[in-house]
Amino acid sequence: MPDTFTIRVNGTEHAVATDADRPLLDVLREDLALTGTKYGCGEGACRACTVLIDGEATQACITSIETAAGSEIETIEGLAASGQLHPVQQAFIDQAGMQCGYCVPGQIMTAVALLRSSPQATDEEIVAEMTGNLCRCCNYENILAAVQQAAGRAPDASAP
Amino acid sequence: MSSAGKSLPHDSAVGHVTGRALYLDDERPMLGELHVGFVGSPIAAGTLEAIDATEALALPGVVGCWTAADVPGHNLFGLISVDEPFLPAERVDYVGQPVAVIAAETPEALAAARRLVRVDCTEMPPVLDLDTAIREARFLTPQRRIARGDAGRELAKAPQRLSGVFRSGGQEQFYLESQAAIAYPGEEGRMVVHSSTQNTTEIQGVVAEMLGRGQHEVVAICKRMGGAFGGKETQASLPALMAALVAHHTGRPARVIYNKDDDMCVTGKRHEYVTRWDVGFEDDGRLLAIRFEFFSNGGAFTDLSPPVLDRTLLHADNCYYLPHVELLGRVCYTNVPPNTAFRGFGGPQAMAAMENVLESIAQHLDVDALDIRQRNLYGVGERNVTPYGQVVERNHLPEIFTQLAESCDYRRRREEIAAANAASRLTVRGLAITGVKFGISFTATFLNQGNALVNVYMDGTVQVSTGGTEMGQGLNTKIQQLVAEELGVDPRRVRLMPTSTEKNNNTSPTAASASTDINGAAAVKACREIKERLAAFAAGELAKQTGESGLQPRDVCFADDAVFSTHRPEHKIDFGGLCMAARRSRVDLGARGFFATPGIGFDQAAGQGTPFFYYTQGAAAVEVQVDRFTGELTVPRADLLIDIGRPINLGIDRGQVIGGFIQGLGWATAECLLYGERGELLSHSPTTYKIPAATDVPPVFNVALFDNDDNVQNIRRSKAVGEPPLMLGIAAWAAVKDALAQVDSAASRSFTLPATGEEILRCLSLAPQTAPQPSAAMPDG
């Protein structure tokens, strides 16, 4: 029997009737039509599905709706809700942080969480935090450059 | 205004960063849409006795289950050889091979139903490894051969001779967006299929055949892919067929989205190879004769294995002149999913084999491997004919090697590394420069054609559709720039539309690195046709307005979002205004361009010809460090130098270079496919299959483009960039071989690719007498 769970997503409260162990990712994508968060591997190892739960970068594919209930959830759709791109989003455009683009929402959410807790994160901190987010286009150099830009530094190896 | 040549952001950049760029599974479901999946063979080889879906069909929400008997038209497919069933009726050939298609109202019901279908088989002994397939002569294709001179005679005469067996492993494409398709049933049995595919024309073709319909009854569409890397060139077909079959039987929209484990388990990968080699050379390392015998693991069906093998034979020379040469190749049958295209398409396996030979010669002669390579590079004006008879024109390899060796400080670092190795009991370092000469064009000559539809609207904005698909390589952005440049308008006026067989028919797959070359050239031709009509019209309009007499169409200039006479550039007509007026004067503002690459051709039977339009060349210098006790590998520095002509989009092309190199580094050093005893893939998720991560980017990573303006035959003097940089990753493997040789020659001799920690440790353990042993003071582990 489905239960009803309350989650706040990008500032809006939703009551979702579903099974307790259903992944948050499926609820976001299928019930709330927030498809910016992507399915990659389904086991928390590629981080394409990264969202912020109470500010923490979290893999939505291995987080049950029951676990997420009562939390404040931020997805990629919430970042530019005002119509203005978030500085991390702008940095990804400036530094060509995308090729196929599929991993980009997850990359950006991880970077946003990092820069909120550590606005001037060092290069070492950035690599350590971002390395869990896989990019099969292997566009890592540009992705790291984008996060460096968002951390307020001119990246040393930016796209020309 | 010039837009080509600039680093314009990817045309979906804003969509990518906001999550608004839609991949197939992001499309909102249509009313009544079904979730579709498959049931796979439980065994690697055997006969199918019965499929029982009774229990599955009894579940609430399960709509139907279909098998081979339910396929209305063709059930056997294959571009090269028609040997792969959509749904097998009698025989199964690999674990997970789809044998039944199931549809349900919800993903949960689908998942439950898939587990409840019983598949009964009689198991037969499978062929699971390449050595067994070779021994038992289980081949999918006849032998391919390319030869020049008399390799046998010259090998026997050569002052120096080495031989061996070289092995390279497969590689999973690991596109993050799994295989996906949605089929919408249309009127009177027509079908629209949205597919995450590199080849809309193939999807259209296989769906039409499977339904027993004409191709005109099927539309196949691809807006974008979340990565493909070759894995969606032929293998997007099965999910598309599943969706279409269900849509056909139910009259409802049908969606197939593979989960990651299924995708990795049942789709083909880069071919594993075993290569026998035999080389004869001078005392200074100059090659005299070489024989390669390549065996690729084709898997259970032919798929693209023959052209992959062709490209192997055509790249066995890599950058080096081979006076007497015999290249042989066979595709082996094994009970794994049919192996397929992957960025490089047989080139990496050949080049790695050749670089292994050169590294082996260097170690045998105790001469620096860079000297051996430079002595054997293709020459300029001499020693420049490939084994298949194509002349290596405009060859820049000698300059590229010299420049890179200098810029990366090769000679000094060599000495430094030797000193460090002598001093360290814990680690050993290695360094190698390897090259790439990658032939651009499909080796199947007929595929070297592209078409494009350019529609200019009366406000002066433009929609462009080509046969090329966007998978992250930036094709759409580059064509947007080419069109904007040609029409003299701001690129924001130009929008690339989804690839659809309705607009672009009989297209070639987006593959062989050539999509900008052929589709971009076609788009430019369409623009020129429109411009010709507009110029004639504008000449009249400008003359009317300025009173300039005798103004000819050739005097009309398109630039800065306007047209003007070259004689009076200060008087302009805005491009939008011109289009509006032209339409009112009944001037056609749309055109379709067609481009066929000229001057190429290859006689496969003879193994001779000019298969390639030109070559993309480059070289990489990679330094590695190996832990002598754990085999752990780190890559502290890489320097790349690559000739991609005049880039159309510097930022995008540079992204292809760095991404391709890192992906090649993954193949060469880390990615390892493991199968169980019954033929099931064990490494089927990112927890067990390691692709490069951000930490794998070398801390010192210098990427430079070789300054070159001479690729005059190609669009805007650019060069293809998609695949070539992947093979620069081989330098890392060669550097590990160099490091192993510095421990002991026995450690390096049998070294295979990829250079995983396990493989390095295995090799180190072959040199027990000379390798430094852990002392009693060393901690365990």
Instruction: Please report, for the domain that includes residue A71, its CATH number.
Output: 3.10.20.30
Length of chain B, in residues: 781
Last residue of a domain, one of A27, A47, A79: A79
**Chain A stretch 39-58, residues whose beta carbon is closer than 8 A to a beta carbon of chain B:** 39-43, 45-46, 48
Q: Residue B581: exposed, middle, or buried by beta-carbon count in 10 A (0-12, 13-18, 19+)?
A: middle
Q: What percent of chain B has pLDDT over 90?
A: 96
Neighbouring C-alpha atoms within 13 Å toward the C-beta of B542: 31
C-alpha to C-alpha distance for B259 and A92, rounded to whole angstroms: 28
pTM (2 decimals)? 0.97
Please name the residues in contact with B365: beta carbons below 8 A apart, sequence gap of 6 or more.
B160, B283, B284, B285, B372
Residues of B in contact with A143 (CB under 8 A): 694
- What are the backbone angles phi and psi of residue B502, rounded to the nearest 5°? -70, -30
**Secondary structure letter of residue B731 according to DSSP:** H
What's the gap in Å between the CA of B330 and the closest CA on chain A?
30
What Rg do the C-alpha atoms of chain A give, in angstroms?
16
Residues B761 and B630: beta-carbon distance below 8 Å: yes
Q: Which residues of B are catalytic?
A: 723
User: What would the mean pLDDT of B246-259 be, rounded to a whole number?
Assistant: 98
What's the gap in Å between the CA of A70 and the closest CA on chain B?
24
Neighbouring C-alpha atoms within 13 Å toward the C-beta of B409: 9
A105 touches chain B (CB under 8 A): yes
Residue A157 lies in a domain: no
Q: Do B662 and A138 touch (CB under 8 A)?
A: yes
Whether A92 and A127 map to the same domain: the answer is: yes
**Out of A76, A100, A140, closest to residue B697 by CB:** A140
Whether A104 and A137 map to the same domain: the answer is: yes
C-alpha to C-alpha distance for B372 and B370, rounded to whole angstroms: 5
The CATH number assigned to the domain with range B273-443+604-764 reads 3.30.365.10
Whether A54 and A122 map to the same domain: the answer is: no
Please name the residues in contact with B189: beta carbons below 8 A apart, sequence gap of 6 or more.
B211, B213, B217, B248
The CATH number assigned to the domain with range B449-596 reads 3.30.365.10
Domain containing residue A107: CATH number: 1.10.150.120
**Out of A39, A43, A144, closest to residue B694 by CB:** A144
- Where in the sequence is the domain holding A22, given as residue range(s)? 3-79
Helix (H, G, I), strand (E, B) or coil at B449: strand
- Note the pLDDT tens digit of each residue in B679-705: 999 999 999 999 999 999 999 999 999
DSSP-assigned beta bridge partners for residue B52: B118
- The continuous run of DSSP H or E covering B36 comes out as strand B34-40
Last residue of a domain, one of A56, A79, A102: A79
C-alpha to C-alpha distance for A132 and A113, rounded to whole angstroms: 13
C-alpha to C-alpha distance for B746 and B567, rounded to whole angstroms: 75
- Note the pLDDT tens digit of each residue in B605-624: 999 999 999 999 999 999 99
Whether A117 and A92 map to the same domain: the answer is: yes
Whether A61 and A129 map to the same domain: the answer is: no
pLDDT tier at A155, thresholds 50, 70, 90: low
- Note the pLDDT tens digit of each residue in A25-80: 999 999 999 999 999 999 999 999 999 999 999 999 999 999 999 999 999 999 99
DSSP-assigned beta bridge partners for residue B614: B440
Q: Do A131 and B174 touch (CB under 8 A)?
A: no
C-alpha to C-alpha distance for B599 and B88, rounded to whole angstroms: 42
pLDDT tier at B770, thresholds 50, 70, 90: very low
Report strand pairing: B180-185 vs B191-195: antiparallel
**Cα-based torsion angle of the residue sequence B506, B512, B518, B523 in order, rounded to the nearest 10 degrees:** 80
pLDDT tier at A159, thresholds 50, 70, 90: very low
Given a cut of 50, whether residue B309 has pLDDT beyond it is yes
Cα angle B517, B520, B526; round to 5: 135
Instruction: Name the fold adopted by B32-126+173-266.
Output: Aldehyde Oxidoreductase; domain 4 (3.30.365)
A102: closest chain B residue by CA: B226
B104 touches chain A (CB under 8 A): no
Q: How far is CA B149 from the centre of its chain?
A: 32
What's the gap in Å between the CA of B439 and the closest CA on chain A?
22
A132: closest chain B residue by CA: B693
Extract the runs of DSSP E, i.e. beta strands, from B579-672: 590-596, 601-603, 608-610, 614-627, 633-643
Q: Do A160 and B662 touch (CB under 8 A)?
A: no
Residues B667 and B229: beta-carbon distance below 8 Å: no
User: What would the mean pLDDT of B187-200 be, rounded to a whole number?
Assistant: 97
Residues B484 and B504: beta-carbon distance below 8 Å: no
What's the gap in Å between the CA of B253 and the closest CA on chain A?
16
pLDDT tier at B2, thresholds 50, 70, 90: low
C-alpha to C-alpha distance for A158 and B10, rounded to whole angstroms: 15
Q: For residue B619, what pLDDT is reported? A: 98
B13 touches chain A (CB under 8 A): yes
- What are the backbone angles phi and psi of residue B707, rounded to the nearest 5°? -75, 115
Which residue, B49, B733, B690, B731, is CA-closest to B405? B731
Whether A70 and A91 map to the same domain: the answer is: no
Q: Does the interface predicted TM-score (ipTM) exceed 0.90?
A: yes
- Note the pLDDT tens digit of each residue in B444-466: 999 999 999 999 999 999 999 99
Q: Burial code of A48-72, b = ≥16 C-beta within 10 A, e = fewer? A: bbbbbbeeebbbbbbbbbebbeebe
Q: Do A38 and B658 touch (CB under 8 A)?
A: no
Number of domains in chain A: 2
- Note the pLDDT tens digit of each residue in A92-147: 999 999 999 999 999 999 999 999 999 999 999 999 999 999 999 999 999 999 99
Whether A95 and A72 map to the same domain: the answer is: no
Residues B24 and B177: beta-carbon distance below 8 Å: yes
Please name the residues in contact with A104: beta carbons below 8 A apart, sequence gap of 6 or more.
A92, A97, A98, B16, B17
Please provide the DSSP assignment of B134-185 as one string: HHTT-BSSPPEEEEES-HHHHHHH-SEEEEEEEEE--B----SS--EEEEEE
Length of chain A, in residues: 160
Q: Token pair 């070359």 is at which residue? A: B517
Which residue, B281, B290, B291, B280, is CA-closest to B328? B291
Residue A42 lies in a domain: yes
- What are the backbone angles phi and psi of residue A76, rounded to the nearest 5°? -55, -30
A81 touches chain B (CB under 8 A): no
**What are the residue ranges of CATH 3.30.365.10 in chain B?**
32-126+173-266, 273-443+604-764, 449-596
